[in-house]
Amino acid sequence: MNTMTSTNLANPSSLHLFTLFGKSIDRPTFISAINRFSMFIVFFWFGWLKVISVSPAEQLIDHLHSATIASLITKEHFVILLGVFECLIGILWLIPSLTKIAFWCFAIQIFTTFLPFVYLGEEIVHKGFQLSLTGQYIVKNVVLISCAMNILYQFNCERSK
């Protein structure tokens, strides 16, 4: 039985999982692929819900839009643009050569997801650290940040080989 030890981690051949179409797939590559697909699912799905106007986040988007950029763009146009942008981010994560573009588009989008804490604090946090459902929806983005950072790290490691 092969257990993971520091010696195994130092030996790249011990990271081999399987061979696919004649190419060796190692653990970091496999994990990165799972992260990429997960990011695609989340961003494309949530974005598409906005495009077709059935997103459960529309009330939050409406409140944030009113508090920030209502004078610049209509809510309807903003929601569609946001949805298309999120779908694009999802697609970009699937294309390894576009990882850095995906990451920076993601960074812009994810930054905006935390704006309700600034502009709509009373709707997000109740008594101390008790989060509303909307607050929980926002805080889960920490997992997406971790996923994105893992993908970018793996991408940079592969490029430095």
Q: Give the domain ranges of the chain.
A: 22-159
- 144 with 89: CB under 8 angstroms? no
Model confidence, pTM: 0.83
Q: Which residue has the tokens 């694009």?
A: 88
Instruction: State the pLDDT at residue 25.
Output: 72
Instruction: State the pLDDT at residue 110.
Output: 96
Altogether, the residues listed in the chain come to a count of 161
Q: Could you tell me the mean pLDDT of each successive run of 10 residues in the chain, 161 residues long?
A: 44 62 76 94 97 92 92 96 98 97 98 90 84 89 96 91 73
Instruction: State the pLDDT at residue 5.
Output: 42
Nearest-angstrom CA–CA distance, 138 and 115: 9
Render the burial of 1-40: b for 16+ CB within 10 Å, e for the rest: eeeeeeeeeeeeeebeeeeeeeeeeeebbeebeebbeebb
Return all residues near 143 (Cβ < 8 A) that are at least 6 apart: none
Per-residue pLDDT tens digits for 113-160: 999 988 888 888 888 789 988 889 889 999 999 999 999 999 998 888
Nearest-angstrom CA–CA distance, 85 and 79: 10
